[in-house]
Amino acid sequence: MGLGEILSSAALANGEGLVMNILELKGVSKSFGGLKAVSNLDLTISQGKIVGMIGPNGAGKTTVFNLITGFHPLDRGEVHFNGENISRLKPYEDCLKGIGRTFQIVKPFATKSVIRNVMVGAFCRVKTAKEAEEVAREVLEFTGLDPKRDMLAKNLTIADRKRLELARALATRPKLLLLDEVMAGLTPKETDDMISLVRKIRDLGITLFIIEHVMQAVMTLSERVVLLHHGEKIMEGTPQEVASDVRAIKAYLGEEYVVARG
């Protein structure tokens, strides 16, 4: 790589380049029968940032991830990744483009070892088992799972299963990583460890879009937070702005709470 290219990629990483929106959703909508799961959602994520998505159960958060990654076809709207319209791509094509994801309900290959599970992700970019194993080892080292690489996935604790989910996604070499509640069910110490790991991933230059109910995690990690309610974005801002907004309180706790507070 010439010096010019190095400088321009560094400028991109610093947010001074040309294409800064790694992800853009324009009027994205999805209904299941009569239920509007996601309504006319506009959303932009800048390269290199951590953006949080919060909202009560059933707000449509996971559906947004399923729409970005091609698990559900869009009813309306467009998804752009690095300036390219990827609205109609299939999940494996989105993965090849550089979008990785984890699943809210973790889905390891239970009777396979940790390293084999991670190798599955690596095969997104490499052809041989030897290469996949090299990638998997590197990712296991990075995520702290290396000592458990030969354990069967079904014998892992919840925290390690979440970590494995993340490791498998990282092995696909994503530019954008979507994390669906990777902190759910973790102890405070495990949550802190996961927060550190997410920061380490961001420091690699990977953009993160995270769904999280654990407020401490969303608030400390995210540069911006999007609040979804009944499939609509009802607000977006810094964690402080969202936390102090009356609409956020209403969405989570209900109208009565706002009235009761005066």
**Beta strands of the chain (E only): which ranges?**
21-32, 35-46, 50-54, 76-81, 84-85, 99-101, 176-180, 207-211, 224-229, 232-237
- Which of ligand ATP, Mg ion, none has residue 57 at its interface (CB below 5 to 8 Å by kind)? ligand ATP
- Going from the C-alpha of 61 to that of each of 113, 167, 179, 190, the distances in angstroms are 30, 22, 11, 23
| Residue 145 or 208 with smaller CB distance to ligand ATP | 208
Residue 246 engages ligand ATP in binding (rule: CB under 6 A) = no
What is the bridge-based pairing of β-strands 207-211 and 76-81? unpaired
- Which of Mg ion, ligand ATP, none has residue 63 at its interface (CB below 5 to 8 Å by kind)? ligand ATP
- Contact between 97 and 86 (Cβ < 8 Å): yes
- Contact between 82 and 17 (Cβ < 8 Å): no
- The residue type found at 50 is I
Residue 58 engages ligand ATP in binding (rule: CB under 6 A) = yes
Where do runs of H (alpha helix) occur along 43-153? Answer: 61-68, 91-97, 114-122, 129-143
| Residue 60 or 98 with smaller CB distance to Mg ion | 60
- Contact between 214 and 41 (Cβ < 8 Å): no
Residue 194 engages ligand ATP in binding (rule: CB under 6 A) = no
Residue 57 engages ligand ATP in binding (rule: CB under 6 A) = yes
Site track 76-115 with ligand ATP (rule: CB under 6 A), x = hit: ----------------------------x-----------
Residue 61 engages ligand ATP in binding (rule: CB under 6 A) = yes
Where do contacts with Mg ion occur on this chain (CB under 5 A)? 61-62, 104
Structure tokens at 216: 């401490």
Site for ligand ATP in 21-50 (CB under 6 A): 32, 35, 37
Cα separation, 208 vs 17, in Å, equals 19
- Which of ligand ATP, Mg ion, none has residue 108 at its interface (CB below 5 to 8 Å by kind)? none
Piece in contact with ligand ATP (CB under 6 A), picked from 53-61, 88-96, 171-179, 241-249: 53-61
How many residues in the shown chain lie near ligand ATP by CB under 6 A?
Answer: 12
Residue 62 engages ligand ATP in binding (rule: CB under 6 A) = yes
- Which of ligand ATP, Mg ion, none has residue 246 at its interface (CB below 5 to 8 Å by kind)? none
State the minimum distance, in angstroms, from the CB of residue 62 to Mg ion: 3
Cα separation, 105 vs 214, in Å, equals 16
What is the H or E stretch that residue 170 is in? helix 158-170
State the minimum distance, in angstroms, from the CB of residue 104 to ligand ATP: 6
List residues binding ligand ATP (CB under 6 A): 32, 35, 37, 55, 57-63, 104
